[in-house]
Amino acid sequence: MKMWFVILSFLTYSCNGIVAGTQSLAGAECKESNITGIKLEVNVMKENYHTLLQRVVENEQEITDLKGQRQQLENELENCRKSCSCEIENLRDDIIQNEHELNETIHSWTTFNETIQDLSQSVSNLNDKFLLLDPAEDTTECLSGWIKNDDYGACYFFSDKTMSWNDAQEQCRKQNGSLADILSANEAVWLADSIRNHDGSEFWIGGKRQDDVYQWVTSDGKIKDMNYTRWALGEPNGVGSYCVEIDKRFQYKWNDSACVWSQHFICKLYLT
């Protein structure tokens, strides 16, 4: 009985020992497997770390390069600003200088024109004085385009153009004459007949209203009384600045009209 008990006890102990050994072996294998996995993960993490570190280094280099480029661009921009600022100042100086020169040129040109006008007026005045003073300037023949009438001792010009009374007087003056004065009925009739051979229906003559009285006015400003008249019925009837015309509508008798109207005209130059 004791023997069997001893045997059973031995067998029980042996089985327990085998089971415990097996469990220990399995645990050791499990630990070793875990360690291997951890080592692999650590190696992977190291590789990832080195990769990330390399990328960081490369990024830092790119940042450094970009900073250098930015600094270079800022330097170029600043140099450009300075250069452009200098060029702008130079352009402003050139503009101011050109404006000054232009103003001087305009002033010189204006002065030159005024001088030319003064000289022209002086020449015209001297020419008028010369014509009045020079005895060799006696007029015995008419200019081309003028009509001579010895009965009235004068040459006559009948214009094809129209203009105001003052402008017409100036045109006559340039040819050493004046708008025609009419001193007799025969001269008035002769002029009326002559007008029929020319275009136009109204012709300025030298009469003008002066202080409410119609008088003959010469191109040099001299005044003569209008001793003979040939007014149309109801004329003169103008008020203010009015001048005398020969009017076809009134059978070539005289009418007064506003001096500013544009009409044909008759110049007269006395023979000497």
Give the model's pLDDT for residue 137.
47
Q: How many angstroms separate the first and last alpha carbons of the chain?
A: 198
For 151-189, write each residue's pLDDT tens digit: 999 999 999 999 999 999 999 999 999 999 999 999 999
Instruction: Decide: 257 and 209 in contact? Cβ < 8 Å.
Output: no
Q: Which residues pair with 263 in a beta bridge?
A: 163
For 190-224, write each residue's pLDDT tens digit: 999 999 989 899 999 999 998 889 999 999 999 99
Per-residue pLDDT at 78 exceeds 90: no
pLDDT mean over 139-161: 92
Instruction: Decide: 256 and 244 in contact? Cβ < 8 Å.
Output: yes
- Alpha helices for the chain (secondary structure H): 2-133, 165-174, 185-195
DSSP state of 263: B
| Residues 6 or more apart in contact with residue 185 via CB below 8 angstroms | 228, 230
pLDDT mean over 61-78: 88
Taking the model in full, what pTM does it have? 0.51
Cα three-residue angle 219-207-270, rounded to 5 degrees: 50
Going by C-alpha positions, the residue among 272, 241, 269, 267 that lies closest to residue 170 is: 267
Per-residue pLDDT at 138 exceeds 60: no
Going by C-alpha positions, the residue among 125, 160, 157, 159 that lies closest to residue 143 is: 157
Instruction: Decide: 180 and 191 in contact? Cβ < 8 Å.
Output: yes
Instruction: Decide: 197 and 260 in contact? Cβ < 8 Å.
Output: no
What is the Cα gyration radius of the chain?
Answer: 62
Give the model's pLDDT for residue 233.
95
Give the model's pLDDT for residue 82.
82
CB 184: neighbour CB atoms within 10 A? Answer: 13
Per-residue pLDDT at 132 exceeds 60: no
Give the model's pLDDT for residue 210.
86
Per-residue pLDDT at 30 exceeds 60: yes
pLDDT mean over 250-258: 95
Give the model's pLDDT for residue 134.
45
For 84-121, write each residue's pLDDT tens digit: 888 888 888 889 989 888 888 898 888 887 788 778 66
